[in-house]
Amino acid sequence: MALKPNEQELLDRVSSGLAIGGKFEASSSGATFDVHDPATGDVIKTIADATVDDAVRALDAAVAAQDAWAATSTRERSNILRRAFDLLMERKEDFALLMSMEMGKPIAEARGEVNYGGEFLRWFSEEAVRVRGDYRPNPEGTGNIVVSHQPVGPCYFITPWNFPLAMATRKIAPALAAGCTVVVKPAALTPLTTIFFVQLLEEAGVPAGVVNVVQTSKSSAQSSALLSDSRLRKLSFTGSTPVGVKLLEAAAQNVLRTSMELGGNAPFVVFEDADIDAAVEGAMLAKFRNIGQACTAANRIIVHESVADEFAAKIAERVNKFSIGRGADEGNDIGALVDGKAVANTARLVADAVDTGATVVAGGEIIEGAGNFFQPTVIDKLSKQSAIMREEIFGPVLGIIRFSTEDEAVEIANNTEYGLVSYVFTENLARGQRMIEKLQSGMMGLNTGLVSNAAAPFGGMKQSGVGREGGFEGIHEFLATKYTLIPR
């Protein structure tokens, strides 16, 4: 399928090189790899494939720039981030189209991601000038305690493919605000948005070497080299829990500061007193946003038996009306999954659900032909033995399991190694308060299907990760706390 003229023109403006020390350059080995449109399978751009030596040179550049960037006034850092926000908003259509082409998400959702990702630039431009210390007498009266904060130093960011812009801004913005330099490794499936964003950062005034990008098809070797380098002081990763565990083990060698946003298995609980129409709207947003490819996606829809039939029927009616097609084309609600593996995994989970007693009430099939498409699907009467109850779906499949008592709903919701986010729909204020206390998740949406916000601390419990991104807490992930005693 031929690219449209505006698509080709946009791709031509995206560098194919590695961003190291303020320059875009080829891999030291000359190696390249292809980026594909998941809706067609076509190659849309061929870009440099970084070697381990390239990654080390990127860290060299970050280390060389660290002291000067840390010494830059917080007002100047703030101004640069604000300029980056303004430029991003001016180029919203470019970034949305680029994301749709390389990741597959509908263009309308891509525009929403630009808005969301941009808010991290705006938020942390404001937080840069508001890092507070403390000055207080010690209890003995023999001196004064001074508490101050300093940048942790060079950081390594590993970002996922599902939100190519927002996951980059959510990490880069607080790091720059705090005075840290960074090396970014974007996902090999969706590197173009990150490269384009770093071009924008340079235009906004970020000095050479402060932000470096080394995309690669050989992630493990690159990460091992950087994590074993004593000059690196911080790791931030968004991705699966198994990979996160390995990275934490590697980061322990040099006792790195870490922020890990890992897997999720979000429960979406609908009580008998819920506003069912509102719950349906919330579920549509929490499940089918980003084609279901989100760690915050509602994974286990836990519905009271007295309202489950009504809920399932209304959900199925909405899902059957979805328009499916290439995300970059206007008007489509569901785009392509990121690759063939995602399609196969989604099909496996649906088949397992049926084998363990569930009923498909909408969709349920791979869409044959070009691209990585799977029908948006609703499954009712899931059993507790279904693989969906244990594994992230990462596809457009909504599975409903029924419950009879509040205690049973809590037991089902908490019966997972994950604890990223949960959703609850109830009109009972006391019950809502009980769910805030009882559900084991780092975030919760009460009568809403969307919780992410740049001003809020994003992160999980249990095997969903450590640390927080966003909010007042986010900048402190990149600051070391220093205590000084001044004798009287």
298 neighbors 285 (Cβ within 8 angstroms): no
The sign of the CA dihedral 366, 372, 376, 380 is positive
- Catalytic residue (choose from 102, 109, 127, 261): 261
356 neighbors 348 (Cβ within 8 angstroms): no
CA separation for the pair 253, 486 (Å, rounded): 34
Q: Which residues pair with 47 in a beta bridge?
A: 33
Angle at which helix 92-103 crosses helix 5-13, to 10 degrees, equals 100
- Catalytic residue (choose from 295, 406, 469, 477): 295
* Element of type H or E holding 298: strand 298-304
Which residues does 328 contact at the CB level (< 8 Å), separation at least 6? 7, 37, 39, 97, 100, 101, 107
Q: Which residues pair with 156 in a beta bridge?
A: 183, 235
- Check if 180 is active-site: no
**Residue 3 DSSP symbol:** P
- Check if 203 is active-site: no
Q: Which residues pair with 146 in a beta bridge?
A: 135, 484
The sign of the CA dihedral 302, 308, 313, 314 is negative
468 neighbors 474 (Cβ within 8 angstroms): yes
- DSSP, collapsed to helix, strand or coil, labels residue 106 as coil
Residue ranges of the alpha helices (H) in 228-275?
241-251
**Cβ atoms < 10 Å from Cβ of 273:** 13
Return the structure tokens found at 401.
């399991």
Residues identified as active-site = 261, 295
